[in-house]
Structure 1
Amino acid sequence: MLRLNRTTRVALAAITVIALGFMYIPLFVIVMNSFNSSRVSGWPIPGFSLEWWGKALTNPAVHAALLNSVIVASVATAFALLLGTLAAFALQRFRFFGKQTVNLLIVLPITLPGIVTGVALSNTYFQVLKPMGINVGYWGMIIAHATFCVVMVFNNVIARLRRMHPNLDEASMDLGAGIGQTFRLVTFPQFRSAFIAGGLLAFALSFDEIVVTIFTAPPGVETLPLWIMNQMARPNEVNQVNVVATVMILLSLIPVYISQRVSAVTDAK
């Protein structure tokens, strides 16, 4: 066991406290400002009030933006889970010409700056497809999100597949199990945690995406990040943003808890 002297332990503890402070003090300020009695955010807050909670939770624009974010993130994640898993199996289990090129093309969207992806998709939607009479509309935004969500699932699943031994699948089929039964009872349980983790990452990435959304969202459609960005230009409405941000902080604990539980169950097995 590695033993550290007292000076090193104190230094590491101080660095840890400073790092955690940089991460969590701003979040604390946001939470406190959601209860600010003043119309303008600041610190320290002059008093406590639930006025902004009432306005934010009954604001139809917030409801519409949240619904759009959930729909886009959910559908994009569903596409990503399907396509990312299939691509991971294809690249891990089969050999074919251009395999490395296909791998590069799958991973490339996550390495490109969001503004490049957004401009490219916007030009395609509005300067190529629209003149041809194809109006992608809402689905264009979902497809745009799916392009980088696929990478999250692909990376997680293929990393797990590389550690799996194919002999287990072969043994299952030798014992009379079909392809579907082998996948359900042998293969899928082995990469299930990576599958779920990839899905959670994809959903979080899509839900939070703003750059690509700016370029691909149809007119009049706002996701929650777009609504927050637009409201930040209105100083008297910023405390509603603080309320929404506080709710999102609380909701973000759910996928963290789920991922921790999945990891614990996997480690126990």
Structure 2
Amino acid sequence: MTITYKDSEGIAGMRVAGRLAGELLDYLALHVKPGITTNELDRLADDYTTRVQGAISAPLNYAPSGHNPYPKAICTSINQQVCHGIPNDKPLKKGDIVNVDVTVIKDGWHGDSSRMFMVGEVSVAARRLCSLTYEAMWRGIVQVRDGAYLGDIGHAIQTFAEGHGLSVVREFCGHGIGRDFHEEPQVLHYGKPGTLDRLKAGMTITIEPMLNAGRRDVKELGDGWTIVTKDRSLSAQWEHTVLVTPTGYEVLTLSANSPPIPAFAKS
């Protein structure tokens, strides 16, 4: 598979899909509180996507090679779960941290984003992990510009994360996105500057670092989807879909109630 570059029509479609993904997370944020189940969040997400946005959930029944179809509309990964957690009937409790990962398909275009939510009062360590992972994502985003390298993104994220005592999950990465959920290139969250593919205007990619409070090693649970830390340490992830522009980048999944952009990323 080769990298796809979006023309003006494709960029317009990606902007709409990205905005809808952000707005879906804004809506779900109102409901993430102690006592709600992730199955309830999933039902809310599916209803909002189809009835309000007139869109489709990409994760629902998604079946890459070697996997059973994913059974839900969103992914919900709690505490030591790294990614791809399947919603269930266990209520969220005070002190939990949960990643909600959504991908909306609108008119054939995909918008992919995730956020961390803190359920009630959480530990200082959990709050720190969520905050640093958010900053790490933005450290990667600000590297995006025409002519830069994918390795620049990974290096920025890795050096920031490891400099704060966190580890970077290696088995999962960002990706190209557009008409297909997962396109080329892979966007690693570690690496060396000046390496891998060069970025070019018209590319759309996700940047979605998964950082662990403990070691980087992970394993898959028996459901065939959920990934957890081997040492049961907390894990966090944030994700945006980003367009490479002739002069830098445009974050497509920002919305009215997205968390504030860090000061260093404002220009």
Q: Could you say which TM-score interval applies, normalised by the shorter chain?
A: under 0.3
Q: When the two structures are superposed, what TM-score results if normalisation uses the length of structure 2? A: 0.27
More strand as a share of residues: 2
Q: Which has the larger radius of gyration?
A: 1
More helix as a share of residues: 1
Q: When the two structures are superposed, what TM-score results if normalisation uses the length of structure 1? A: 0.27
